Chain A
């Protein structure tokens, strides 16, 4: 039995130590916002944050997540950056099927936390691990820029 800290709450979990965090979240804890896309860290659908750093939960053993602050799509809206990213996603009308968007939003929130005003190259770097088969990339780029503008405006108003 281990304890995971997810979105600020503690969860006791009885899982094999090599079980990927993705399946712990989905199948043991019923937190289904984090998605399974490839199982081998190629598509980014399963992106979560570990201490604010984006990680592919499909290849991260649960043992490696113990003792770290895990944030998932269910909790990202509680952070100021996450909230702005979600709002920009709606404002720009990014979403189509929506299946990859949990991972996209997690990746974008991590990018903006690290680089408040990302360039196109920063966005390419930060987001190229996340596949969207519907092809929402141009709007993802625009929404990240919009969230960045809101973020910097909010900081100016302080």
Chain B
């Protein structure tokens, strides 16, 4: 996994003067390695760090900002080793370029999977350290002194014995001509000045005064606004349009027909919306037009009767369970989920014969570019993508389905056009979290402790479509994440994955991805085992975590801080869950909840202990966990997208219920600090939450809910 150590640095002169440092993967294009030895002028101004002659430090960001704090954490990593103040680093969004801006592990340019800090922690520091060491060397040469007698601080190199000083800007040109150091020493974490401090976010001032620019805020001369209705059924086609009434609406300029959608192009969104409403439309639904949620579940349940690909196999768990005198078996279900990021899907395009420009907010810019290139037939370099702040993403903006649509509309419109989906369109054409169906079983000994565990999970493979090389030997590493890494010390464990596609809906990543679903199943089921054994849920888990000190430690912190075992007001229960996955972070959450007679769940308090290793910005870590928990509660209590006649039944926040401030619990996040490698923090807060709440509901009511959303199961019949 650790590709970062093998990354090569490159360095050279920046166009217009100054000095560039970047890195690339060993598998990347050889041209960069060659260029590092050739004349510096070979470099295009595409790298991660630019030190201008004016001393301006620019970090060219390959990660996008969607609320998770990368626009602060990434410059912190650079500034720490480069020895500049955080306020001295300017940010520039990197253009789409998988060759230059790929993140390790994925091998392409993407922001997601809670990976920004995890994967760039070392490469960005290494680039900063190399740049600093070259700037120091340039100063030492200028003064003809030993580099060891110089120090760097706040963008200035000082010759310690004489007190002479040179600013980075004055050293940039000379530094660009020096050889890249074969090795650079990274700071001892004890010497960190920035990493580990709660630095103020750099993106917030513009976000409190209305000046921050999101994709939807793009304004261009002559721009039209369009809104769209696509086939309500996946795979359906536009069969008939009567646009006579729409055309009569003042401000409506044009009706654009696509194979599977129709768009109303207007002077402003109000005219476009009115126009859309005035259209008379007929769709040809195609084969998905009869599908209901129950059909999907039937398919999953049938698939769950077939053996899957074995993902983990310790001992012979099925044989142990078959021969056991005491066993527990359950079926769990997790529904389709909508993202409902608050900024509705939007994409602005200007298509010209020889060039296409796209303005949007995306987690995966190279695919935006590629999608526009494919539709227009233009070469990649003729497609320019401008990225903006993302008004929430949660995985939705890892998909680029809306880009070809916007480009096709743009092909029929003179000048630029901003395509905005209404909220209804955004929900009904979401790329939803898959429906999952799990069969899980355990054999237990006389004391009620598990001796064998089998977990067969059934769902589609997002990775097989989204990142085919990651889908190996029939296993989707995302779908099984968290399940395969089960930390509990059980002698026999078998985890199986049954791939079952759900063509009636497009499915994709949703905050917490595969782990969110798996952790609900695992942590609910381990709670079932504890209850069957009449044991305390924390003590039961603790007894099974002998091989994972870090997991045990977060569990202990959460239990202590939550006052586990102390009496609660009548009707309230506490539920616990523990999480570990490929993100590398350890979490334990304890929720307090009560349930009304009408089946309404109130989550009063959530305590969460987090060991994410090195915390670059501990305040951001806390904020991400708080937000992740709130996202997770709404999803667990109410989150559900249902299908009828192939159509998503939900459309706006009246039936896509999300948590509001009056429903939000008190949240206490406790960081367990250490210097382990950083783990992901954007998603674990969501993934740890649903089982803690479900287990609290069980503690409060005795009702074990195995099918989400919770409230639907708790409502009196």
Contact = CB atoms under 8 A, between A and B. Distances in A.
Interface of A: 16, 19-20, 23, 26-28, 30-40, 42-43, 45, 72-74, 77, 86, 89-90, 93-102, 105, 123-125, 127-141
Main secondary structure of the interface of A (DSSP, over half): loop
Interface stretch (B142-150, B314-322, B387-395, B559-567): B387-395
A95 B209 contact: no
B341 A133 contact: yes
Which residue, of B203, B208, B390, B630, has the highest number of chain A Cβ atoms within 10 A? Answer: B208
Contact of B631 (A45, A129, A135): A135
Which residue, of A32, A45, A138, A139, has the highest number of chain B Cβ atoms within 10 A? Answer: A138
A19 B209 contact: no
15 contacts: A19-B268, A37-B343, A40-B654, A43-B653, A74-B209, A86-B209, A93-B623, A97-B390, A98-B207, A125-B662, A129-B660, A133-B340, A135-B629, A136-B626, A141-B661
Closest 5 CB pairs of A and B: A33-B210, A135-B630, A99-B391, A97-B67, A98-B207
A85 to B, nearest CB: 8
Contacts of A135: 626-631, 659, 664
B268 A38 contact: no
A139 B251 CA distance: 42
B667 A138 contact: yes
A68 B340 CA distance: 33
B542 to A, nearest CB: 28
Chain B, interface size: which category?
35 or more
B209 A77 contact: yes
B208 A101 contact: yes
Interface string B264-280: 00011111010000000
B258 interface: no
A35 B208 contact: no
Nearest to B628: A135
B391 A32 contact: no
A131 B660 contact: yes
Contacts of B391: 35, 97-99
A98 B652 contact: no
Given A16-B271, A131-B653, 6 more contacts: A16-B251, A32-B213, A36-B420, A90-B200, A96-B627, A138-B626
Contacts of A86: 208-209
B37 interface: no
B342 A95 contact: no
Which residue, of A28, A31, A90, has the highest number of chain B Cβ atoms within 10 A? Answer: A90
B217 interface: yes
Contacts of B273: 39
B251 A30 contact: no
B269 A26 contact: yes
Interface in B654-693: 654, 658-664, 666-667
Given A26-B269, A33-B209, A96-B627, A128 B662 contact: yes
B201 interface: yes
Contacts of A125: 662
A7 B630 CA distance: 34
A99 B214 contact: yes
B423 interface: yes
A96 B198 CA distance: 15
Given A16-B251, A37-B423, A105-B208, A127 B623 contact: no
Given A33-B209, A42-B654, A23 B268 contact: yes
B212 interface: yes
A134 B664 CA distance: 12
Contacts of A40: 423, 652, 654
A101 B253 CA distance: 33
A56 B208 CA distance: 18
A34 B342 contact: no
Contacts of A137: 630, 659-661, 664
Nearest to B346: A36
Contacts of A100: 342
A30 B210 CA distance: 12
Which residue, of A16, A123, A130, has the highest number of chain B Cβ atoms within 10 A? Answer: A16
Interface string B185-203: 0000000000000101101
B344 interface: yes
A72 B659 contact: no
A89 B210 CA distance: 13
Nearest to A126: B661
Interface in B621-660: 623-624, 626-631, 652-654, 658-660
Interface in B212-229: 212-214, 216-217, 219, 225
Contacts of B469: none
B204 A20 contact: no
Contacts of A39: 273, 422-423, 652
Contact of B423 (A20, A38, A94, A129): A38
B66 interface: yes
Nearest to A72: B210
Contacts of B65: 97
Which residue, of B209, B211, B273, B626, has the highest number of chain A Cβ atoms within 10 A? Answer: B209
A134 B67 contact: yes
Nearest to B223: A27
B342 A97 contact: yes
Contacts of B628: 135
Nearest to B625: A135
A77 B211 CA distance: 12
Contacts of B344: 36-37
Contact of A27 (B69, B268, B623, B666): B268
B205 interface: yes
A131 B658 CA distance: 8
B250 interface: yes
A146 B374 CA distance: 52
B556 interface: no
B68 interface: yes
B619 interface: yes
A139 B626 contact: yes
Given A35-B342, A137-B630, A95 B210 contact: no
A3 to B, nearest CB: 18
Nearest to B627: A135
Contacts of A27: 225, 267-270
Given A36-B216, A97-B392, A98-B204, A28 B268 contact: yes
A74 B214 CA distance: 15
Contact of B623 (A31, A98, A128, A139): A139
B623 A136 contact: yes
A87 B467 CA distance: 43
Contacts of A93: 198, 200-201, 204, 619, 623
A38 B653 contact: yes
Contacts of B210: 31-34, 72-74, 102
Given A27-B225, A73-B209, A132-B342, A123 B661 contact: yes
B641 to A, nearest CB: 16
